[in-house]
Amino acid sequence: MKLSAAPIGAKVIVKSLDESEISPKLRAIGILPGITLTVVKSAPMGDPRMYKVFNKIISLRQSEAELIEVEMLSESVIPLSQATPGEYIIKEIYGGFRFQRWLEKIGITYGAKISLLSDRKVKTAFGVYDVGFGKLSRIYVTRQTTEKVGERE
């Protein structure tokens, strides 16, 4: 995916850069294939966004981030609303007591393992639920890395 599409909080690894006027500058500050970047936060209007390259924070416009092809690392903590279907572990819930209570009832709690289905529904230990985009954006998860016996990473 393009760096501009990576969710806030994601740790990504750079795959390639589209050649442009700013490519030499991007490479000089360390945005190179194989290097890890973190999406730190975005400005109030969504553009530009802050990225961490090694130990420096660099801000890039979305149009500039679009030139960078990246892949998300599994250890990223991202909101469920931005995640692709798959297995996840709940890491963070951003909401007050009522929100947390409501989620608890359907099986979404810290550390719980859930599946995100292709129709945006969530499968928990208690069943399949339609949680809604707004709530999904307040539930942060990390990819479940399944360890199978005998398989090497």
Partner 1 sequence: MRSVNKIMGMMSVLSIITFILYLIEGKVIFSIVVLSFLLVFLFGFREFGSASYTFRLAHVYVGSILFTIASGYVLLTYLFSLFSVFIGGEPYRLSISDTILLITGVYSLINVIYLKKVALRNDK
Partner 2 sequence: MVITVGLLGNPNVGKTSLFNKLVGARQYVANWPGVTVSRIEGATSFREYTLHVVDLPGIYSLAATSVDEKVTRDYLLYSPPNVTAVVIDSMSPEQGIFLLLEAFELGLNVIAVFNAIDEARKSGIKMDKSSLEKFLRVPVVLTSAHTGEGMDELKEKIVGSFKKSVRPLVIDYGNETEDYIKQIEECVEDSYNKRFAAIKIIEGDKFAGSFLKKECKENLIDSIPQEIRTSIPLTKYRYVTNVIQLSTQKNEEALTVTEALDHVLTHKYIGIPIFLSLMYLAFNFTFKVSEPLVGLMEFFFEKLADTIGNETLITSLLSQGIISGVGSVLAFVPSIFALFFALGIMEESGYLPRIAFLVDKLMYSLRLTGRSFMTLLLGFGCNVSTVMAARGLSDERERITTILVSPFISCSARIPVYLLIVSVAFPTRKAEAFFAIYALSITLTAFSSRIVNKIVLKGQNVPLVMELPRYRFPKLSNVFAYMWNRGKHFLEKAGTIIFVASILIWVLTYFPSHGNVEESYVAMFGKLIQPIFAPLGFTWQIVSALIFGGVAKEVIVSALSQFHKSASNISIDPATAAALMTFILGYTPCFATIAAIRSETNSRKYTFFAIFYSLGISYLLSLIVYTVGRLIV
Binding site for partner 2 (CB under 8 A): 16-17, 19, 21-30, 32-35, 41, 43-48, 50, 53-61, 63-64
Q: Residue 5 half-sphere exposure, CB side, CA atoms within 13 Å?
A: 12
The yes or no reply on residue 93 touching partner 1 (CB under 8 A) is yes
Cβ(3)–Cβ(70) under 8 Å?
yes
Least Cα distance to 140 among 82, 92, 87 occurs for 92
Beta bridge partner(s), residue 142: 77, 89
Place of tokens 């149009």: 63
Smallest distance, Å, CB 23 to partner 2?
A: 6
Structure-token pair, residue 97: 């007591």
The yes or no reply on residue 140 touching partner 1 (CB under 8 A) is yes
The yes or no reply on residue 92 touching partner 1 (CB under 8 A) is yes
Stretch that binds partner 1, among 41-49, 64-72, 87-95, 120-128 (CB under 8 A): 87-95
**Closer residue to partner 2 in complex, CB, 42/109:** 42
Contact mark string toward partner 1, 45..64, x via CB under 8 A: --------------------
Smallest distance, Å, CB 46 to partner 2?
A: 8
* H or E, element range at 104: helix 97-105
The angle at the Cα of 73, spanning 106 to 40, to the nearest 5 degrees, equals: 85
Cβ(60)–Cβ(48) under 8 Å?
yes
The yes or no reply on residue 96 touching partner 1 (CB under 8 A) is yes
Where does this chain bind partner 1 (CB under 8 A)? 92-96, 99, 110, 140
